[in-house]
Amino acid sequence: MSIDFPYPIPSGWFPVVAGADLDAGAARRLQAFDRELVLFRTESGEAAVLDAYCPHLGAHLGVGGKVEGEALRCPFHGWRFGSDGGCLEVPYAKRIPPAARARSYPTCERNGFVWAWYDPEARAPFFDIPTIPQVGSPGWVETFRRTWRIRSQIQEMGENGADSAHFPAVHGSAAVPPSEAKNDGAHRRAIQYTEVDTSRGRAKNVIEVNSFGLGLGYTHFTGICETISLNCMLPIDAETTDLTVVFLQPAGTEDRGIARAICRDLERQVGEDIPIWEHKRYLKRPVLCDGDGPIADYRRWCLQFYPGFTDA
């Protein structure tokens, strides 16, 4: 099935691995951005991502390549590459060919993940992602983590937050939650106001979503039980996205029934969204009505991540 999406994989920072899952000295194959890549961590702890195929004779650096100090050695002929992709050594040659370089992808380590920067035109990063203070704080604990591989495009999945009218039909919400959004460059801040029935009566919730490009959405739920949700998306190829969701809750509340119920409910909602995402078609000019959320505004904001495209 083709999802018939008109734009390429977008520019942005994307989570390629949980930081704790990549040991110093490790190297592995990575599939992302419709490319074969190699992900490794140097002995000093720096994470790096390079194009997978050695520019010499095409060996896959992530299959048998070995980290030596601050470099990665090719398993085929022993050429050694730094984290910037430059060739540092050809063990049997007097001179290193000037073209001996693998494309490198800028990386940073934040919020428990290693993030790689991708741009269709190989431009340098034009925005940053923040450090979320609750991640790693002793006052907060991780209560849920799961990754789904979804046959959908990353923008389509992110549009879910702007589409407030789907909540009653898909998730059983009592009404369409009122919402507002504001864009500031690559940062988008959206707020929804909801009410839920509990054993103690109707409770008001405020849901604040901060998006930094299309790879990171940070949601802060306040109300009956404060919850932080990290929604981290990695484009595997043009039609497949890995969605990793992490929930954090204040220390001391994680064993309460209401805290566990919130995690189960949010996981349920993702499960309800997936069949819609995987079988819908992207309509470039949808017929919208005055009760829909800020879908058109969201799409205009997304355009900045597709170099050369101006029509949302």
pLDDT digits (tens, 9 = 90+) for 105-143: 999 999 999 999 999 999 999 999 999 999 999 999 999
Out of 195-199, 202-206, 275-279, 299-303, which region has the weakest mean confidence (pLDDT)? Answer: 195-199
pLDDT at 261 over 90: no
Share of the chain above pLDDT 90, in %: 79
Give dist(CA 301, CA 303) in Å, integer: 6
pLDDT at 1: 39
| Beta strand pairing call for 80-82 and 140-150 | unpaired
Alpha carbon distances (Å) from 72 to 63, 93, 265, 303: 12, 18, 44, 36
Q: Within a 10 A sphere around the Cβ of 98, how many other Cβ atoms?
A: 7
Give dist(CA 203, CA 55) in Å, integer: 60
Q: How far is CA 8 from the centre of its chain?
A: 16
Amino acid at 310: T
pLDDT digits (tens, 9 = 90+) for 195-215: 665 556 666 788 999 999 999
Domain annotation for the chain: domains and CATH numbers = 12-118 (2.102.10.10), 140-305 (3.90.380.10)
Give dist(CA 40, CA 106) in Å, integer: 13
Q: What is the mean pLDDT of residues 51-65?
A: 99
Q: State the pLDDT confidence band at 238, using cuts at 50, 70 and 90.
A: very high
- E strands, the chain, in order: 12-18, 27-32, 35-41, 47-51, 66-68, 71-73, 80-82, 87-89, 104-105, 107-110, 113-118, 140-150, 179-184, 187-198, 201-212, 216-222, 227-237, 240-250
pLDDT at 231: 97
Give dist(CA 124, CA 117) in Å, integer: 8
Average per-residue pLDDT for the chain: 93
> What backbone phi and psi angles, to 5 degrees, belong to 117?
-90, 130
Say what the pTM is.
Answer: 0.94
pLDDT at 196: 63
pLDDT digits (tens, 9 = 90+) for 141-170: 999 999 999 999 999 999 998 998 898 899
